[in-house]
Amino acid sequence: MGWSIRLFDVAGTAVRIHLTFFLLLAWIAAIHYTRGGTAAAVDGVVFIVLLFLCVVLHEFGHVFAARRYGIKTSDVTLLPIGGVASLERMPEKPSQEIVVALAGPAVNVVIAVLLVGLLGARFDLSQMTQLQEATTTMAGRVAAANVALVIFNLIPAFPMDGGRVLRALLAIPMGYTRATRVAAIIGQSLAFVFAFFGLMGNPLLILIAVFIFLAAAGEAGYVQMREYTRGYLASHAMITAFKTLGPGATVDDAAALLLRTTQQEFPVVDNAGVLDGVLTREALIKALQDTGGATPVASVMDREVPTVPESAHLDNIFQMLQRTGQRVVGVVDASRRLTGYITAENLSELVMIQSSRESRDNASVAGRRAV
Ligand SMILES: [Zn+2]
Quick: pLDDT tens for 99-135.
999 999 999 999 999 888 876 656 665 555 555 454 5
Residues in the chain: 371
Domain count, the chain: 2
Taking the whole predicted model, whether its pTM rises above 0.85 is answered as: no
Of 229, 250, 276, the residue at which a domain comes to its end is 229
- Could you tell me the distance, in angstroms and rounded to a whole number, from the CA of residue 157 to the centre of ligand 1? 12
371 pLDDT higher than 50: no
Q: Which residues fall within 8 angstroms of residue 222, CB to CB, at 6 or more apart?
A: 322
Based on the fold, state whether residues 179 and 34 are members of the same structural domain.
yes
Query: To the nearest 5 percent, what fractions of the chain are helix, strand and coil?
Result: 60, 15, 25
- Could you tell me the distance, in angstroms and rounded to a whole number, from the CA of residue 162 to the centre of ligand 1? 8
Q: What is the pLDDT of residue 123?
A: 60
8 Å CB contact between 270 and 247? yes
Q: In the predicted model, what is the mean pLDDT of residues 131-148?
A: 74
Range of lowest pLDDT (11-15, 183-187, 229-233): 229-233
Query: Cβ of 166: how many Cβ atoms within 10 Å?
Result: 23
- Could you tell me the distance, in angstroms and rounded to a whole number, from the CA of residue 152 to the centre of ligand 1? 10
Phi and psi angles of residue 40, each rounded to the nearest 5 degrees, phi first: -65, -40
Whether residue 367 lies inside any domain: the answer is no
Q: How many CA atoms lie within 13 A of 302 on its CB side?
A: 20
Based on the fold, state whether residues 158 and 253 are members of the same structural domain.
no
**Cα–Cα distance, 342 to 235 (Å, whole number):** 9
- Could you tell me the distance, in angstroms and rounded to a whole number, from the CA of residue 200 to the centre of ligand 1? 26
Based on the fold, state whether residues 251 and 186 are members of the same structural domain.
no
Q: What is the pLDDT of residue 370?
A: 47
Whether residue 371 lies inside any domain: the answer is no
- Could you tell me the distance, in angstroms and rounded to a whole number, from the CA of residue 203 to the centre of ligand 1? 21
**What is the identity of the amino acid at 152?**
F
Q: What is the pLDDT of residue 91?
A: 84
**More confident of the two residues 351 and 149:** 149
The model's pLDDT over 13-31, given as tens digits with 9 standing for 90+, comes to 889 988 888 888 888 888 8
- Could you tell me the distance, in angstroms and rounded to a whole number, from the CA of residue 183 to the centre of ligand 1? 16
Helix (H) or strand (E) holding 343: strand 338-343
Q: What is the pLDDT of residue 120?
A: 66
Based on the fold, state whether residues 314 and 195 are members of the same structural domain.
no
Query: Cβ of 346: how many Cβ atoms within 10 Å?
Result: 16
360 pLDDT higher than 80: no
**What is the identity of the amino acid at 247?**
P
Whether residue 359 lies inside any domain: the answer is no
- Could you tell me the distance, in angstroms and rounded to a whole number, from the CA of residue 52 to the centre of ligand 1? 13
Highest-pLDDT range among 153-167, 208-222, 341-355:
153-167
Based on the fold, state whether residues 201 and 261 are members of the same structural domain.
no
- Could you tell me the distance, in angstroms and rounded to a whole number, from the CA of residue 187 to the centre of ligand 1? 15
Q: What is the pLDDT of residue 364?
A: 63
Q: Which residues fall within 8 angstroms of residue 156, CB to CB, at 6 or more apart?
A: 162, 163, 165, 166, 183, 186, 187, 190
Whether residue 336 lies inside any domain: the answer is yes
Q: What is the pLDDT of residue 134?
A: 47
Query: Cβ of 75: how many Cβ atoms within 10 Å?
Result: 18
Domain extent for 242:
234-352
Considering Cα of 170, then 176, then 178, then 184, what sign does the dihedral take? Answer: positive
Query: Does a cis peptide bond (omega within 30 degrees of 0) precede residue 159?
Result: yes
- Could you tell me the distance, in angstroms and rounded to a whole number, from the CA of residue 135 to the centre of ligand 1? 28
Based on the fold, state whether residues 12 and 151 are members of the same structural domain.
yes
Q: In the predicted model, what is the mean pLDDT of residues 204-233?
A: 82
Whether residue 59 lies inside any domain: the answer is yes
Based on the fold, state whether residues 250 and 288 are members of the same structural domain.
yes
- Could you tell me the distance, in angstroms and rounded to a whole number, from the CA of residue 272 to the centre of ligand 1? 50
Of 206, 229, 252, the residue at which a domain comes to its end is 229
Q: What is the pLDDT of residue 103?
A: 95
- Could you tell me the distance, in angstroms and rounded to a whole number, from the CA of residue 120 to the centre of ligand 1? 26
Based on the fold, state whether residues 202 and 243 are members of the same structural domain.
no
**Cα–Cα distance, 166 to 187 (Å, whole number):** 10
- Could you tell me the distance, in angstroms and rounded to a whole number, from the CA of residue 151 to the centre of ligand 1? 11
- Could you tell me the distance, in angstroms and rounded to a whole number, from the CA of residue 16 to the centre of ligand 1? 16
Task: Bin 143: left if φ > 0, else alpha if -120 < ψ < 50, else beta.
Answer: alpha
- Could you tell me the distance, in angstroms and rounded to a whole number, from the CA of residue 342 to the centre of ligand 1? 34
Of 175, 203, 229, the residue at which a domain comes to its end is 229
Q: What is the pLDDT of residue 367?
A: 54
Based on the fold, state whether residues 166 and 251 are members of the same structural domain.
no
Based on the fold, state whether residues 245 and 344 are members of the same structural domain.
yes
Q: What is the pLDDT of residue 124?
A: 60
Q: In the predicted model, what is the mean pLDDT of residues 189-210?
A: 85
Q: How confident is the model at residue 8 (pLDDT cuts 50, 70, 90)?
A: confident
Across the chain, mean pLDDT equals: 84
**CATH number of residue 322's parent domain:** 3.10.580.10
Based on the fold, state whether residues 47 and 166 are members of the same structural domain.
yes
Based on the fold, state whether residues 283 and 221 are members of the same structural domain.
no
Q: What is the pLDDT of residue 351?
A: 79
Whether residue 36 lies inside any domain: the answer is yes
Whether residue 360 lies inside any domain: the answer is no
Helix (H) or strand (E) holding 17: strand 13-18
302 pLDDT higher than 80: yes
Whether residue 155 lies inside any domain: the answer is yes
Q: In the predicted model, what is the mean pLDDT of residues 179-201?
A: 89
